[in-house]
């Protein structure tokens, strides 16, 4: 086991001092309690559970010696802790955060102070492509411009040629949101690409894309396998993000439709369909409930992959009325998944298979994938 100097204050890694196999067993037992008599299958862990987060956020601040740091907030506090040596964040991302702090110190660029509305550097957002080894960097500022931006970017690119693109994001609001609505491309295309299951995906700063690409590939492959897709099937993928599951399913069915409320993610999904030359897919920017209430599709399979809040009751009832033969529910929150499945059970659905994937080692979270069939 590795040691982290701020683990007791951070709160992000609840189980850092627990052997990994014990973490997996504990997570399985916790999910089993939630599902009661339904048998929970295998929990799929990682070979190397460290540095798996390929999506990293950090907030800038200065310490008492006026040295710049990139950090996260202490648990239940507004105090910041340095996170540039984090054991679950990607190594490249950690190194880039350290370099940004060093350059900012040299150039006397101040961190943004939300209370006083002063300073410049507010956050950094980093995405690392597992397949390509490239990096997308978003520098979030609370000011109107980044002083010495050309020199800043030049030094950053020299130190980290793996940064394929960088954007300057403007966030002047008093908010906990990391990214603001407006951004400019500093260099590159404004996005990077990654690959899952042989498919290529474009990732922009505001795209939803899982933080753990190694486990995500395994999770989605299992979800597609559980669906037992046929060439005659129509597939509906709710909360599709940038189209990862939709496109993975499209190769094994007649048509696949992805629905996502985030219009920017849908724009990426449409591009991803073109990149992968998928002709039998359609994507719609819509609230899940609204789409399902008016849809004319008769899906054979529905995939659910919602945020932690789960699916709305309206969407679940619409799914029940549509009566697909299989529903595959992927969840990052087993508690809301259990709640949602109760609604689906009232329409005659029963759990046939339930497995766990540890996308978040050392934390309290676990991902589940559940197959429900119509009785």
Residue 216: is it exposed, middle or buried by C-beta count within 10 angstroms (0-12/13-18/19+)?
buried
332, 367 in Cβ contact below 8 A?
A: yes
Phi, psi values for residue 25, rounded to 5°: -65, -40
CA distance 375 to 370: 16
Residues with Cβ within 8 Å of 195's Cβ and at least 6 positions away in sequence, in order, are: 131, 132, 201
Q: Is 332 tagged catalytic? A: yes
Task: Give strand pairing partners of 239.
Answer: none
CA distance 372 to 375: 9
**What's the gap between Cα 373 and its chain centre?**
28
CA distance 138 to 186: 9
SS3 state at 175? coil
DSSP letter assigned to residue 47: S
Of 114, 107, 166, give the one whose Cα is nearest residue 142. 114
Q: Strands of the chain (E only): list them.
A: 43-44, 55-62, 68-73, 80-82, 121-128, 135-141, 163-170, 182-187, 191-196, 199-204, 234-238, 255-260, 281-285, 301-304, 326-331, 349-357, 367-374
CA distance 44 to 23: 12
Catalytic residue among 10, 13, 253, 332: 332
Phi, psi values for residue 359, rounded to 5°: -85, -10
CA distance 86 to 72: 10
CA distance 210 to 52: 11
Q: Catalogue the active-site residues.
A: 332
């Amino acid at each position: 086991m590795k040691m982290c100097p701020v683990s007791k204050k951070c709160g992000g890694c609840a189980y850092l001092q627990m052997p990994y196999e014990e973490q997996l067993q504990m997570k399985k037992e916790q999910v089993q309690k939630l599902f009661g008599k339904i048998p929970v299958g295998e929990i799929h862990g990682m070979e190397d559970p460290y540095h798996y987060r390929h999506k990293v956020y950090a907030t800038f601040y200065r310490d008492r010696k006026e040295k710049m740091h990139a950090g996260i907030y202490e648990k239940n506090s507004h105090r910041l802790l340095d996170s540039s040596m984090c054991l679950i964040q990607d190594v490249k991302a950690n190194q880039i955060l350290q370099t940004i702090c060093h350059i900012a110190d040299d150039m006397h660029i101040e961190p943004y102070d939300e209370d006083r509305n002063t300073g410049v550097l507010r956050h950094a957002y980093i995405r690392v492509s597992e397949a390509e080894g490239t990096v997308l960097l978003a520098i979030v500022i609370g000011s109107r411009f980044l002083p010495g931006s050309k020199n800043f970017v030049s030094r950053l690119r020299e130190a980290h040629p793996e940064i394929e693109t960088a954007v300057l994001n403007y966030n002047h609001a008093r908010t906990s949101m990391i990214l603001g609505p407006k951004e400019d491309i500093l260099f590159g295309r404004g996005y990077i690409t990654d690959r899952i299951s042989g498919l290529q995906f474009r990732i922009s700063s505001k795209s939803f894309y899982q933080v753990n690409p190694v486990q995500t590939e395994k999770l989605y492959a299992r979800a597609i396998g559980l669906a037992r897709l046929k060439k005659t099937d129509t597939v509906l993928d709710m909360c599709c993000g940038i189209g990862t599951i939709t496109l993975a399913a499209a190769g094994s069915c007649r048509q696949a439709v992805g629905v996502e409320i985030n219009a920017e993610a849908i724009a990426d999904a449409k591009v991803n369909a073109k990149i992968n030359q998928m002709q039998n897919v359609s994507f719609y920017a819509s609230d899940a409930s609204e789409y399902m209430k008016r849809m004319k599709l008769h899906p054979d399979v529905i995939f659910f992959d919602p945020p932690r809040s789960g699916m709305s009751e309206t969407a679940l009832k619409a799914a029940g009325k549509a009566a697909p033969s299989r529903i595959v529910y992927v969840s990052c929150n087993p508690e809301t998944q259990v709640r949602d499945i109760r609604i689906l059970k009232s329409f005659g659905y029963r759990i046939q298979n339930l497995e766990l994937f540890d996308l978040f080692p050392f934390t309290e979270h676990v991902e589940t994938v559940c197959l429900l069939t119509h009785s």
